[in-house]
Amino acid sequence: MKPLGYWLVHIHQLIENNFERLLTGDALSRRHWQVLNTIAAKPGSLAEIEQAMAHFHDDVRPLIRDFTDRGWVTPEYELTAAGREAYDRIAAQVHAERAKVLDGVSPEEYATLMNLLERIATNAATPV
C-alpha cells in the first residue's frame, strides 16, 4: 500500500493536469478559474477577493486584470454579460470534471474523506 503523501501528491498532480487540459482552450489556469468562481459567487472588493484567495499565496491582481482585459469583469469586480457567459460555460466543464473524479464515491464517503483529511491536516500542523 502506498503512503498518504504519495496519494496526496499524485491526486494533486492529476487534478492540476486535468484542469490545465480543461481550461487551455480559454488560455486560463486553475487559479484563473478559482478567482473567476470567487467573483461569480460574490462580487466584492479587491480586498475581499484577495482574502478569499489568500490560502493560495498568489497575487490575484494580474488574473483580475486579465479578466478585465477580456471584458469578463468590470472595474467593480462584477461579471459582465460576456463574463457570465464564459463563467457558465467553464463552470459546466468544471462540474463535469469534478463529477468524473468523484464517480463511485457516495456523499457519505466524500464527507468521511474530507473529515479524515481535515483531521490529518490538523495533526500535521501540530508541532511535536
Query: Which CATH number is 54's domain given?
Result: 1.10.10.10
Domains held by the chain: number: 1
Which of 41-50, 79-88, 98-107 is the least confident region? Answer: 41-50
Q: Is residue 22 part of a domain?
A: yes
Percent of the chain with pLDDT over 90: 92
Closest CA to 28 of 92, 95, 99, 90: 90
Average pLDDT over every residue of 81-107: 96
Q: Is residue 31 part of a domain?
A: yes
Average pLDDT over every residue of 78-98: 96
Mean pLDDT estimate for the chain? 94
Identity of residue 68 = T
* pLDDT band per the 50, 70, 90 thresholds, residue 86: very high
C-alpha cell at 59: 497575487
Whole-structure pTM value: 0.83
Rg of the chain on CA atoms, in Å: 17
pLDDT of 22 reads: 93
pLDDT of 56 reads: 86
Q: Is residue 115 part of a domain?
A: no
According to DSSP, the residues that pair with 73 across neighbouring strands are 79
pLDDT of 106 reads: 97
**Domain assignment of residue 92, given as a range:** 4-102
Q: Is residue 108 part of a domain?
A: no
